[in-house]
A and B are shown apart, each in its own frame.
Chain A
Amino acid sequence: MSLSTKVGSFELANPFIAASGTYGYGTEYGDLSPAREWGAVILKSVSRNPRPGNLPPRCCEVDSGMINSIGLANVGLEKYMAEKLPAFAAANPDAVCIASLAGETLDEFLCLAEKLTEVKTIKAFELNISCPNVAKGGMHFGADCSASRQLVTEMKKISSVPVWVKVTPSTTDPVGVASVCAEAGADAVVATNTIPAMKIDITRCRPVLGNKTGGLSGPAMFPASLRIAYMIHRALPDLPLVGCGGVDCGEKAVQYILAGCSAVEIGTATFRRPDTLAEVKQFLSEYMDRMGFKTIEDFRGLASRT
């Protein structure tokens, strides 16, 4: 039995990927959740210039999850390349690293890709066109089919590594967006990102978050995100697909694979239990053993064929 998988031509030792924004710059968890144990890790989204992030409070807890409005706080491209990537590589020589790119404009995305495509540490790009917490770029980009098409087309021209596109669940037509990305040459689609959400403090009579609204993550959003992954795979069975949203146990990860995903991102669950990865890997092995599956391909997408 093998846990190895392929997202298009991109090979991973196991199907589990640390989701961007939940795994910092890849060194914060240390031995609690080592990068080398993941199929790949996606570092915090990087923008051309440093971003301070949104006004605190930036996160709050809700039933079965949390809402965040970090606002793509990051060190900016220069420090990312000079400090964060070398530190990651030094601490995790055997790990597979994916860079998440966050641009407000097409130009900014291209600038990021031009600089990062030659960096050996980075094995793929994930385009974050689905963050709900920024005024420009983010989800506004991802809900616009023609902007997504142009972005992916231009990115493919200059990227020497696979280009994945993380799509928003906040569109009436996620399949349409995925379809456009596929036509433009995306190497994979990641379904999905957080869902816009909010919480109100009934004593202070105002929204809890400084940004007023944020993105819902954690188990609460699993069923909604799973459905989108399922719909995308049904419509576009040849498009490499990565599931993301609400996975906190092996059983949910298996559901994404059965829906058609070749890999599964895990994020918020790691906040609660840094050893989530070990649990999901063990569950997957036991599940495959019990079901008689030798490889991920043996059962990937089975639920989408019924």
Chain B
Amino acid sequence: MKIQEKGVVVSNIEAARNLHFLEVRVPEITAQIVPGNFVSLLPPASSGVFLRRPFSVAGVHDGTLQLVIRDIGKGTHAITSLKKDDTIEVLGSLGNSYPTFEPDKKLWLLGGGTGIASLLFLHSIHNNPKDRILWGGKCSCELPEPTVLPSGCTLATDDGSCGECGNVVEVARRWLKTDKPDYIAACGPKGLLKGVQQLAAEYSIPAWISCEEFMACGMGACAGCAVPLAAGGYARVCADGPIFKAEEVLL
């Protein structure tokens, strides 16, 4: 069910340059959230932006949503400038979710930038010690300190300044020489998702990707966030997605 709820900021930590971990208390929405879902936040009026901003949920804890937000424009700047006890309007839960993976199956969760959010949530729910989660960025300044990450999480940077050297797809490809997951879930920039589509096809690994597109309503009403489908036509990222089987969409 979609609910509009006034959220209260519980904490806002800048975990890396311009990258914030924001916790917002919205008990009614939180009660319904599952991995893959997203919420849309209404930036404060002082920001001057008109539309809501959609964010995948990175976790839930005791009535509180966890979000990973990069400050990249007026809307996200206003949201990442919020302080403890500030209020913000939240709409959720929105979108579909990842499938329920069997507990004994091994998952690889491949995330780039803020795309890590839904994968952190999925990781916390699936909770199989054999799962691996890979979080990539251009350089160490884009990623948080490894100490704040969940167990099983590896960092990767394009310039090798922290964690594994190479982009997420390159690192996953190296891992595949000695290991193989039962399933892959991925979220991040289009290049990463395209790479995951190729990997999944090449190694015959079922994969799900979380897509991103500019959204207006976030609820399936306006058809603004269209993504082309391999079978022809378009799907709405907000209502038919954001989670799709990797081979379903044309990126």
Does A218 belong to the interface (CB within 8 Å)? yes
- B222 in contact with A68 (CB, 8 Å): yes
Which 7 pairs, one residue from A and one from B, show the smallest C-beta to C-beta distance?
A24-B221, A59-B224, A28-B221, A271-B217, A28-B220, A73-B223, A271-B216
Count how many pairs of residues, one from A and one from B, have CB atoms less than 8 Å apart in the complex.
97
- A59 in contact with B216 (CB, 8 Å): yes
Total number of A residues with any Cβ neighbor in B under 8 Å: 34
Interface residues of B in 34-57 (CB under 8 A from A): 42, 48-52
Does A119 belong to the interface (CB within 8 Å)? no
Residues of B within 8 A of A (CB): 1-4, 42, 48-52, 89, 91, 213-228, 232-234, 239
| A42-56 interface bits toward B, Cβ cutoff 8 Å, 1 = contact, 0 = none | 001000000011001
- Rounded to whole Å, the gap between the CB of B216 and the closest CB of chain A is 5
- B226 in contact with A73 (CB, 8 Å): yes
Contacts of A63 in B (CB 8 A): 48, 50
- Rounded to whole Å, the gap between the CB of B65 and the closest CB of chain A is 18
Interface window among A107-115, A272-280, A294-302: A272-280
Secondary structure of the A side of the interface?
loop
A60 to chain B: closest residue by CB? B214
Contacts of A289 in B (CB 8 A): none
| A40-84 interface bits toward B, Cβ cutoff 8 Å, 1 = contact, 0 = none | 000010000000110011111101111010100100000000000
Given that A53-B234, A58-B226, A66-B216 are known contacts, is A29 also in contact with B2, CB under 8 Å in the complex?
Answer: yes
- Cα distance, A23 to B52, chains bound together (Å): 16
23 A-B pairs in the complex with CB atoms less than 8 angstroms apart? A23-B221, A28-B219, A29-B219, A31-B2, A32-B2, A44-B223, A53-B234, A56-B225, A57-B214, A58-B214, A58-B224, A58-B225, A59-B224, A61-B51, A64-B50, A66-B51, A68-B222, A73-B226, A73-B234, A219-B50, A271-B52, A271-B217, A274-B91
- B50 in contact with A30 (CB, 8 Å): no
- Cα distance, A22 to B49, chains bound together (Å): 19
- A56 in contact with B234 (CB, 8 Å): yes
Contacts of B52 in A (CB 8 A): 271-272
Contacts of A273 in B (CB 8 A): 42, 89
- Rounded to whole Å, the gap between the CB of A5 and the closest CB of chain B is 25
Partner of B4, one of A57, A70, A275: A275
- Centre residue among B214, B217, B222, B225 by max chain A CB count within 10 A: B222
- Centre residue among B91, B213, B214, B227 by max chain A CB count within 10 A: B214
Given that A24-B221, A272-B42, A272-B51 are known contacts, is A52 also in contact with B233, CB under 8 Å in the complex?
Answer: yes
